[in-house]
Amino acid sequence: MSQPAPLNPLSLPLHGSRLIEASAGTGKTFTIALLYVRLVLGGHRVDDDTAFVRPLTPPEILVVTFTNAATQELRERIRNRLVEAAEVFRADGQESDSLLLELRDQYDPATWPACSRRLALAAEWMDEAAVSTIHSWCYRMLREHAFDSGSLFSLNLENDQRELEQEVVRDYWRSFYYPLDSDALGTVISYWKSPDDLHILVQRLLPESEALGAKARAQRHPGRHSGRTRRKAQRTQSALVRLAG
């Protein structure tokens, strides 16, 4: 296993798989934007072994993040970085970021005008750039490749499933509790006054729901499940018993 090394965004290889570890406030967005500039520019010489195989356009570069707010910020930061880099390659940015000046100096001055035009075009193209949340990208791929994925052409992306959960609980309440006699229904109501009360309690167990089937899977594949997984399933089952009274 290789040892981690400090990241240099001007020399990080842009081919293959790379893992970058960073904590909050260490310049992740700054680094992504500079790597994006390098992908747009392509190699600075024929034997540049850190560059991608060819220059890329924004629709060919996928950038994913976690939230919609971060997506918009990232898109704007990348666009601004492309504009700044285009100015530097026009030799108009002598007071610009030292990293951009260092990046420009890696290229033959005769290519600077062409590099500037490529960067400016990429900045104008950012409205079509593939910058999205992880779930939005998956949704887009399912929609565009419905035949290959076996999914429906019409899909709804649910960012908040609480309303769906409440609908399921209300349907369960109506199907199983309404037909009960008064004594049995009274017992139910002594625990949960309404479907909303039931939903609040069940919601606590949803993060553990995957463990409920662990026992059956462990019986089919004994070697694949650790004792920790079995204990997690047992705790979940015990919680259900307590919940049911």
List, for residues 102-134, the tens digit of each pLDDT value.
999 999 999 999 999 999 999 999 988 989 988
Number of domains in the chain: 2
Question: Which of these three, 149, 175, 196, is where a domain ends?
Answer: 149
Asked whether residue 31 is marked as a ligand-binding residue, the answer is no
Asked whether residue 91 is marked as a ligand-binding residue, the answer is no
DSSP state of 4: P
How far is Cα 82 from Cα 190, in angstroms, rounded to an integer?
A: 63
Q: Which range in 23-37, 41-55, 94-108, 112-126 is most confidently predicted, on average pLDDT? A: 112-126
Asked whether residue 182 is marked as a ligand-binding residue, the answer is no
**By the 8 A CB rule, do 212 and 237 touch?**
yes
131 domain residue, yes or no: yes
Asked whether residue 50 is marked as a ligand-binding residue, the answer is no
- Can you give the residue range of the structural domain that contains 182? 163-244
Asked whether residue 98 is marked as a ligand-binding residue, the answer is no
145 and 32 fall within a common domain:
yes
How far is Cα 175 from Cα 188, in angstroms, rounded to an integer?
A: 14
* Residues 146-157, mean pLDDT to the nearest whole number: 68
How far is Cα 29 from Cα 73, in angstroms, rounded to an integer?
A: 9
pLDDT value of residue 121: 96
13 domain residue, yes or no: no
Asked whether residue 29 is marked as a ligand-binding residue, the answer is yes
